Each structure stands twice: as C-alpha cells, then as structure tokens.
Amino acid sequence: MLKILVLGPPAILLYDRAITIQRRQLRTMLYFLACHPDGIGRGNLLSYFWPQSTESDGRRQLRELLSKLRSQIPESNILETGSDRIWLNQDLVYSDAQHFQSLIQPARDFHGNSQNSNLLSADVAEMLERAASLWRSPSFLAGARISNTPEFENWQRETSSKLELFRLQCLERLGNHYAATGNLDKAILFVQKALETDPVNEVLQAQLLTLLNSAGRVSEAQTYFSYLQDLYQREYDTPPPMPVQLALEEFSQETVGRKIDRLTMELPKKKGGHGFIGRSKELETLGNLFETGGVVFVTGEMGMGKTRFIRHFCNTLYHHPRVMHIHCRAQDENTPLQPLIYLIKQYIKREDWINLENRWLKSLSFLAPDVFRQKESTHPIHEWPSTEAREELFESIYHLLESCGRSSRLVLVFDDLQWCDLDTLHALMYLSNRELFGERGVLILSSRTEIQQLKARQGLISEKHHHFLSRISLKSLNQSETGFLISQVLTQEPTQEFIQRFHKATGGNPFFIVETIQYLVNLFGSDLSNFRDPIPLADNLSEILEERVRALDPKTLEVLSAGAGCGLDFQFDILAHLQICKPESLVQALEELETQGFIHPVKTIGISGQYAFHHSLIRDLILKQISPAREILLNEKLGEALISLRGPQINRLSGTVARHFEKAGKAVRAFSFWIKAALYARGLFSKDEALGAFEKANAIRMEHFHNIPESDLYSLFHEWGNFAYSLTDTIEMEKCYSAMYETGMEINSPLLTGAGLSGLGLVAFYKFEIDKSQTLLNQSQLILDKTDNLFEKIQVRSHLGVLLMTIGQNNKAIEVFSDAIHMGKDTPTHKVRKAVAHVQTQLSLLQSLMGKPKEAIVTAKAAQRNAYLLVTKPASLSYAHVVLAIAEYYSGNFSDAMKCLRNSNRLVENIQNKRAVAFSSIIEARINCIQGRLDTAWELAQKTLNIALKNGLFEFVSEAHCVMGDVYLIITDYDNAIHEYRLAQKSLEGTHPGINAMYRMGYAIAQSGKVEKGLQIIDEAIESANQCGYAVVRLPACYMRGMILEKMGKVEEARTIYQNVITESDTRGLSMLTYIGSHPQQQNIIEHTENSLTEVVLTNLIKLDALHPGRWSEVLQNKISQYNQFPCSLDKERLIIFLGSLTKPQ
C-alpha cells in the first residue's frame, strides 16, 4: 500500500519504504489529493496550481502532470479520474491526515470547547492517543518545499491551522483527562506536547507548572518558571502573565493529586478588600453560556458589582480561556473604535497576527499603526470609501480574533457599554453575526440599566440581531449576603439587628454597603458592635462621599480634581505636567487617594502610571465641586498637556483635546482639532463620528469665522467636502459647499467663494441640473483664476470637463482637460499631482471614446506615471490602469488590456472602491464577450450591474445591460437583446452609454424583421455620435447599417460602407474586433472558442447540468435541442462549424 504522510515532514512510502517522486509539483499534487479523500474538481485544481493560466492552458498542464504522476507511482489505478474530478483510490492509498481525522471524530464534541467534562471513556482516550501519535512533528507539511502559488499557500495555511488546532485540542483533552484520573506524568507529557504547538499559551504554561508541582517535580517547575521569566523578558519585556505567576504562588498551597477543575482559582484577597459574595446562580448561568458560546449581556444598576462579577468569573476559569477585558471610557464616547484599539494594544501579541494575510494587516494598520507595522506604505484615509472599507476593517478584526482563539477559547469583555461608541457596537454586531462567539468563545457585555442613552443603543444588540444573545441581570444582595459582605469589610461578625438595618438602608447595593461602612468606620472606628444611630440611607450616598472628600487635604483634593478633569482614568505624567505640586507630593497624594479608595492603579501593557476612579459616581461628585473658573483653567491646561506629551498620538486624541479647549472657552483653539478628529474618524471609516466632528468645527466657524485664518477655514470645507463626495452624499456636499461659499462672501475670500461655487456646481451636476451646474462652474473658474490655489483651479476644470463630456461637447471638454493638465505640469506637489492624474484619466477616456486610442494610450501612461508617484493614492493608479485598459481594448490589444485590469484589480481589492471595481469588471466583460466566453461575460456584467445598482453608479447600470444585450445578440435572441438595450438606454439619451445602446438596439430591431424602424434608429444614433465625436459608436453603427443593407440586397452600398469603416478604423488605430456583430468579431469568436471549454459548455447545456445564471443560457440550450444535425462527436472542426451556424444571422 502507498502511504502519504503529511502530519510532520511529508513522506511517500511504499510498503513502509520511502520512494522518490522526482518533481516537486508532482509531490505537491499527491499531498494535496491525500487531504481530499472525496476528490476535487479539475477547475479547483487549476485555481490552486495554475491560477494565472488560461483554462485551456491550465487543463493541458494538468493532463501532463497527471500523466507524469502515473508514470512514477507503482500502480496507475492509484490515481483515478472522472468527468471533472480527480481522487486517490482509498483502497490502495493510506493518508495519515485522513486517519487522524477519523480517530478524533468520536470525540469531536469537545473540539473548539475544551471545557467539557475532563474524564473520557477508555475507548475515546485510547483513540485520541493514537491520533496524537500520528504527528511526527507539531507542524503540517513541516519543512516541505512545495508549490508556491498564493492560492495554494492559502490552502496550506488554512489546512495547517485546522489540523494543528485539532492536534492541540486533542493534546489538551488528554492532558485534562489524565490530570483528572491522577496520572500526572501522562498529563505532563501531553501538556508539554501541546506547548510545542502553542509555546506562549499562558494557560498551558500555568497548567504545566501546577502539574509539575502536584507530581512532586518541584525543581522542574521552578526551572520551567525561570525559563518563562527569561522568555517573556527577552521577547516582550514583561514579566510572565498573571496565570503563570498565580500558579507559582500556589505551589505551597497545592497537594499532589489535586483535581483540576475550571472553578478552582481565586485571586489573592487584597488588603482592606473583600472576597466575592453571592451571585452563585448568575455564575452558574454564565458558566453554562461560556460552554456553549455566544453573546452575554450583563446589566444592573450602578454599584451592583458588574465589573467585579465578570472579573471573578474570569478568574475562576482555570482552564483554558484567553481573557481580554476592556473598559469603555466616557471620554472616548465620540472617538471611534477606541475600545477595540485598547484591546489590540493590551492583549494582541505578534504571534497572533504574523500569519494573517497582508490584506487584513493593511486594514488593521489603520486601527493600530504602531502595532501592525507594514513594510509597504498603507493607503491614506482619503482613498478608502467609508461604507465598503469599514466592513473590510471589521472583517480584518474578525480574522485577528479568530487567530487568537485557535489554541484556546476567547472571553471578550466590554465593560461599561454605556460609554461605548456606535462604531464599536457595530463592530461587535459584525463579529457576532460572523459567529466568532460560538466555538471560539464568548462575548460578555456589561452596562448600567439607568443610563437613558443606552435605550437606543441596546436595540443594536438585541435578540433580533443575535439569536443566541442572553441576558443576566444582577440584582441587590439579599440580607444574608449583605451580612456576609459587612463581616468581610469589618473583619468581625455584625449583629443580626445591625445587618437588618444596614440592608434596609442600602437596599443591598454592594457599592453602597462598602462606601457606607467606610464612612462609619472613619467616624466611629472599626468596632461598630454598639452602633445604634440611624444608618445613612442609600439616597444620601452623595452626602457620604462629600464628607469623605471634605476630609482630604487641599493639595490632595486638587490632584483628585485634575484627575476627574481627565476622565474616568488618567495618567501620572499628565498630572505632573500640570505642576499642581512637586513630584514627590503628587506621588504622596495619589497614594493617599488609593488608600482612601477613591482611585486604583490600572496595569496596561505599554502604559505606566495609569489610574482609574473606583466608581464613576466619585468622579461625577468631584466635577460638580469644581468652580467654573477653575474648570476653565484646568481644561486649558489639560488640552496643552495632551498636545505637549502625546505628540505621536495627537490625531487619536484630537477630539479629547478639542473638548478640553471648548470647555476652557477657547473655541478657536478647538477648531483645528475638531477637523483632525474628523479625519481620524474618517480613517477608521466612522461616518457618524467624522460628520459629527465636522459639524462641531462648523458650529465654531459660524460664531468665530472672523477670528479663524482663511487657511483653516479652507481646510474645514475641503476635508468636509471630500468626505461627503466619497460618500456620494449630495445633501452633505450641498451643506458644506453652501457654507463655504457664504463664508467666502462674508470675509471677501475669492478662494472660499470660488471653491464653494465649484462644489455646488458638482452637486448640481449630480442632480442632473446641467444648466445650473455649467453656470456655477463657469463662475467658479473666473473667480478661482484670480487666486493662487492651483489645486482648485485644476479641480474646477476637471468638474467642467466631465460636464461637457456628458452633454456631448467633447472637443470643448478636451480643451478644458488639456488646459488643466498644462497648468499643473510644472508644480509637482502631491495634491496637484493627484488632481492632474485625475484629469489625465478623464482625458484618456474621452480620447478613447472619440476614436483616438493611440493618443489615449499616451495620456493614460502619463496618468500612470503621475499616479505611481502618488504612492499612497491607489485609487488614482487604479483608474489610470483602467483607462489604459480601455485604450488598449479599442486598439485590439486584449492581452495588454487584461494585464492592466489585473493591475487595477489588485489595487481595488485593497481599497474596496466600488466604482473602480465596476469600471474594471465591465471592460473585462466586453473582452470576454468578444472572445466568445459568453458565460464569463454574462457573470461579469451581472456583477457590474449588482455593484452599480447598490451604489448608484447609473452609467455602469447602462453598460452592464448593454453587455447582456450583446450576449443575446450573439446567440440571435433579438427580443431579449432589444429589452436589454432599452434598459441600457433608459434616462441616458444623448450620452455615450445611451448612444452606444441605441445603435445596437436598432440593429437588433432590424434583425427581428422591423428593418425600416431599425435603420431609422441606427441613423439617429450615427447622427448623435457624429455630433458628439464618438467615433467608437459611429463607426460600428455604420458597419451595422451596412450589414442590414447587405441583407436587403444592397450589396454595393454595403461594401462601400464596409470599406469606408475599415479605412477610417485603420487610420484611427481602432480594432474592428470591438464592433459588435461585425464579420471580424464573429470570426474572432469562432476562432477563439476553445475546444475543451466549448465541449464542457455545450455538454452541460444539453444535460441541463451546471448551467450558469442568465436567461441566455436557456435560449442557447433550446437552440441546441432544436438543431437536428447536432454532431455526435465533438471534434474541433465540427464544433467550429456548429458554433458558426449559431452566430451567423438567420
């Protein structure tokens, strides 16, 4: 039997002796097939092994590879093939990968969930041991040199992740099983093997320390802990994680044979603190939800101990989750995605993301550029349309967290959700809908119930969005639990009468209980056994806190006030920068506040000296006590401190800085920071937060425009308008540019006035108010030409040129475009270069439509050169590639055109620009249609149509219907062709897309029998195209007219037309292969239809099997079924004759 081993270094054995397969690609094919016991389709094999080849070339290479492979394996029937599938004969071939998966199948209920019962049956344990023994090293295909196409590498990475995860879970389960049965040596062995796969899994490290100690192998445990200390210090510059440290601390308390259970570990009790009280039913509910996965919403009134409850639960999960606990902060409420940024910076390690695709890393680099450093320059925020790129960002977060959860289950905690921004909520909804929180782990959300604004947000995370969302509501402690809590805080047993009075006064609210006791202890000492006075009611808690605050010395209170001004948490260096007191006095004040229970230190990776208020109620009380004058001074100082100390992070903190300055009465100072906050929000694809920040800046502008420099005002309107343009939001654009124009008039600024008119002209154009648009743009050009802002001068000419193209004044449009390009050629600033590149792409497109492909190629290459220099502007380069593809298409250079489209597609894949995707897809559809690949052409046209309808790209709606009409025209289904052409012409009469569809519709009408009507429509199209200068429409329309005349018997007239069209086309450099229905195109379709592809298509159609979507397929199938002389043998010559009969007019 032939053995193919892939679990470790790959090997091919015959009767347990290695055999040599000469070529790497042949070996790769065997490894690949060994992992697909049910076989794989030929088409899929082509996409993995020869993705860049044409289908015919790929199939030829596949046949050659299979032939060579059969010659090197011992029995040819080991490799079996069907009509469209290839597989290995399972009776003659053994695969360790398949054997491994069959062995673990009976225990698959634990995969992705290592928290089931620890004990296994003897049979299951024995099978898992056999499965684990199949791995000869921890890695799938370890050290193999195999095929290196991107598609194959993706398959190898995914298969490796899946199989290695199964191995890790198998080893973890065995380790837990043998630990529970007392066989500690075997448990240690399997945990050590698991650590080979995941060496920095902190839970496995802690488990190994515990097992070594429990087995009496203390010196090994200490040696291993020393190794971990060196590892974390060397690689991460941090001490070992908390679970590892806790495992070491418990050495002296553990006994040999201790049963490992998930609810066994408690954090050490802090001095002056108290243990966790009650909530047993809620803990059990949360434990069950952790087992099944999903989303859990923990709610409760202020002071109910939601954070403490969640932390206690996470601390009791001794096996094996990876906990990420994030606190949402009030000061970040309007800063997008901050909780997720905190999560990444605090919990994500390099090994979590190092194997992610570059596509996801590029998106994540926007979120945390200091974490995900890219070798290539990432694209700037202006190039990413918010709608599409935001989903791309959420998907990248999904892949990151999925990677984190491969070796152990995830527990994601988002505390104080009432302060969470809407973008983070949408991201969590996205992750939940992608079912991250199922097998991978659980998402725990907590929020107060009394926050009014939560009502709207709570709807975002309701059962209608998450079918598996569960809720846990924390209620007040009962009287017994209240007594237990009092005894822990007082360290003495209170009387039953005292407990009853205390429970009634506080309502059983844990926070109220602790604060009230602290207040009484401060007044009367720790012995309250004889206390008979009335206990302060919970309603008077603010008074209790005020009493505690009044007891602070003035300097400590000033430090506390400064911290409250910062937010719910603050950092030492900010307070030090305020120079409230000397550094030593500041340290003493913070220590005193910590001792008194007002604040507590927060440990965060990469951030030192961070503190947080023990409760938001304390901060709220402090803020109320700050005088208005002191609040103004404090906020101004805090704003300046952030600017001074957080230089590299100032964009992220711009909203916070702006709020401080506004509270300080420095609105003009806040103005530029609101603009920066908007740009930061835009960079994270947050439409609402970006527009909100622009609105705040605009509100300041309305009150203080006379005190704001013109350059800052221009910055507001320029960035605001660009953002609205990227959203195709004409309402927001009109609002922005109207304000820009009005401000320009108010301060007598030609720049603002002219640029505002330019923007309003663009808005009118989008509303199809053509006359108004042209008037506004002409006025704008006159005004802007008196300024020195070259960018705006070029921009208004770009807008005007596009408008002139739309109304058919193409020669004038060329003049305007050429003028704009000439203006910018000697000023190669980044901004101007981008504007020039954009105009060059418009000019190249117009030159192509006017039948000047040679000039269009020169202009497009100039646009390419400019765009290449704009290394951070991929949209500009993408459009340059597309317009060059169009020019090459009309020249008949289809392979060069396809190369340009592939270059464009690689860029738009990263920036998710739907307009660029639609542009590229429709050109590719036309090329495939010309070359007879009707299936592919139809699918690409449908793809374009879907994108265009969803995103309001109406010109591409027309183009898509036009291509679908061409498909029907080729197969002589004239009724459906007419229908598609009418849809293409709808609302676009007089434009290029409209005229383009018009002459085609005339031809289809003539072919359907209405010759005179068809000729009349074609003549009207020819006249319109001639007026606009669209040679690429006029010439094929004339050729079609000749074909109709020839059919009518007017052969000489038709030949004259043919000769004129051919001569002019040659002179212009236009390829007649692009003329739909022409004789050269028909011949090209017949010659380029590949025998193997045609055979598959026709066979599928006849069998009604594997039909591609689209009505044209049914038409062609019916045509074939009615053809009496369909050839029985599908040889190439007879196929070509048969296809020719289908494509010639009947």
Task: Output 43 or 1005, whichever has higher pLDDT.
Answer: 1005
Rounded CA gap, 1013 and 1005, in Å? 7
What is the value of pTM for the model shown? 0.63
Give the orientation angle of helix 358-367 with respect to helix 894-911, to 10 degrees.
40
Q: Whole-angstrom Cα distance, residue 136 to residue 608?
A: 44
Asked whether the predicted pLDDT for residue 910 surpasses 80, the reply is no
pLDDT at 465 (0 to 100): 45
pLDDT at 140 over 60: yes
Find the radius of gyration of the CA atoms of the chain.
Answer: 36
Burial pattern 556-588, b for ≥16 Cβ within 10 A else e, equals bbbbbbbbbbbbbbbbbebbbbbebbeeeebee
Kindly indicate the confidence band of residue 503, based on its pLDDT and cuts at 50, 70 and 90.
confident
CA distances from 1035 to 948, 968, 1032, 1075 (A): 28, 21, 6, 8
Q: Which of 914, 859, 853, 860 is nearest to 882 (CA)?
A: 860
Report the 10 Å Cβ neighbour count for 751: 21
Contact 338, 424 (CB under 8 A): yes
Predicted pLDDT of residue 1096? 43
- Residue among 823, 814, 834 nearest 876 (CA): 834
- Mean pLDDT value across the chain: 80
pLDDT of 877 above 90 = no
**pLDDT in the model for residue 665:** 93
* Interval 961-976 mean pLDDT: 87
Compute the average pLDDT of residues 793-809: 91
What's the mean pLDDT in 79-88? 81
Task: Reply yes or no on whether the pLDDT at 540 is more than 80.
Answer: no
Average the pLDDT over 998-1003 and give the result.
94
Q: Name the least confident of 672-676, 854-858, 895-899.
A: 895-899
DSSP 8-state code for residue 820: H
Residue 767: the pLDDT is 85
Question: Mean of the pLDDT values across residues 364-383?
Answer: 59
* Pair 309, 518: CB distance under 8 Å: no
Encode pLDDT of 286-318 as tens digits. Answer: 888 888 888 888 988 878 888 888 888 887 775
* pLDDT for the residue numbered 633: 93
Contact 699, 716 (CB under 8 A): no
**Per-residue pLDDT at 249:** 56
Compute how many other C-beta atoms are within 10 angstroms of the C-beta atom of residue 359: 14
DSSP secondary structure letter of residue 263: B
pLDDT band at residue 761 under the 50/70/90 scheme:
very high
961 pLDDT more than 60: yes
Contact call for residues 192 and 178 (beta carbons, < 8 A): no
What backbone torsions phi and psi does residue 41 show, to the nearest 5 degrees?
-70, 150
> What is the rounded CA–CA span in Å between residue 535 and residue 558?
30
Sequence-ordered alpha helix ranges (H) in 459-571: 479-490, 496-506, 510-524, 541-550, 554-566
pLDDT digits 0-9 by tens, 703-730: 999 999 999 999 999 999 988 887 778 8
Tell me what percent of the residues of the chain surpass a pLDDT of 70.
83
What percent of the chain shows pLDDT beyond 90? 26
At 989, is the pLDDT very low, low, confident or very high (cuts 50, 70, 90)? confident
Which range among 43-57, 77-91, 376-390, 612-626 shows the weakest confidence by mean pLDDT?
A: 376-390
Residue 538 tokens, joined? 């919970």
CA distance 431 to 419: 19
Tokens of 367: 């979120």
Confidence of residue 820 (pLDDT cuts 50, 70, 90): very high
Per-residue model confidence (pLDDT) at position 1083: 63
For residue range 99-134, list pLDDT tens digits in order.
888 888 776 544 333 334 567 788 888 888 988 889
More confident residue, 1075 or 1103: 1075
More confident residue, 865 or 1145: 865
Tokens of 582: 């000397």
Band of pLDDT at residue 1019, cut at 50, 70 and 90? very high
Helix ranges (H only) for 596-727 are: 616-625, 628-645, 654-663, 667-683, 687-704, 710-726
Separation of alpha carbons 1004 and 1022, rounded Å? 15
Listing DSSP states for 845-873 in one string gives HHHHHTT-HHHHHHHHHHHHHHHHH-TT-
The CA–CA distances, whole Å, from 558 to 549, 580, 593, 594, 646 equal: 11, 7, 11, 15, 23
The rounded distance, in Å, linking the Cα atoms of 191 and 834 is: 57
Helices (H), ranges, 368-416: 386-404
Instruction: Please give the pLDDT value at position 114.
Output: 37
pLDDT at 604: 65
pLDDT at 1015 over 90: yes
Is the predicted pLDDT of residue 330 greater than 90, yes or no? no
- Residue 190 sits at φ, ψ, to 5 deg, of -75, -35
Which has the minimum average pLDDT: 258-272, 305-319, 516-530, 867-881?
Answer: 258-272
**Residue 451 pLDDT more than 60?**
no
Q: pLDDT category, 468, cuts 50, 70, 90?
A: low
- pLDDT for the residue 1037: 94
Confidence grade of residue 245 (pLDDT, cut at 50, 70, 90): low
C-alpha triplet 302, 307, 313: angle, nearest 5°: 135
Question: How sure is the predictor about 1001, in pLDDT bands with cuts at 50, 70 and 90?
Answer: very high
Instruction: Name the residue among 617, 712, 609, 631 with its Cα closest to residue 669.
Output: 712
Confidence class for position 677, pLDDT limits 50, 70, 90: very high
CA distance 928 to 935: 9
Of 231 and 761, more confident: 761
Highest mean pLDDT: which range of 28-32, 724-728, 953-957, 1119-1123: 28-32
Tokens found for residue 886: 């169009």
Q: What are the tokens at 73?
A: 């394996």
Instruction: Band the pLDDT of 967: cuts 50, 70, 90.
Output: confident
pLDDT exceeds cutoff 70 at 1042 = yes
DSSP percent split of the chain into helix, strand, coil, nearest 5: 65, 5, 25
Q: How far apart are CA 125 and CA 104, in angstroms?
A: 10
Cβ of 904: how many Cβ atoms within 10 Å? Answer: 27
1100 band by pLDDT with thresholds 50, 70 and 90: very low
Tell me what the mean pLDDT of segment 267-291 comes to.
68
pLDDT at residue 66 is higher than 70 = yes
Q: Do residues 892 and 1074 make contact, with C-beta atoms less than 8 angstroms apart?
A: yes
* Residue closest to 927 by CA, chosen among 1103, 746, 1088, 726: 1088
350-359, 386-395, 569-578 — which is least confidently predicted? 386-395
Cβ(801)–Cβ(841) below 8 Å: no
Collect contacts of 642-651 with beta carbons under 8 A, ≥24 apart: 642/574, 644/577, 645/573, 645/574, 645/577, 648/370, 650/676, 651/676, 651/679, 651/680, 651/683
Tens-digit pLDDT profile for residues 542-599: 777 787 788 888 899 999 999 999 888 888 989 999 888 888 999 999 998 988 888 8
pLDDT reading at 462 higher than 60: no
| Residue 857 banded pLDDT, cuts 50, 70, 90 | very high
For the cut 80, the answer to whether the pLDDT of residue 862 exceeds it is yes
Q: Which of the two residues, 151 and 1136, has the higher pLDDT score?
A: 151
pLDDT computed for residue 229 by the predictor: 78
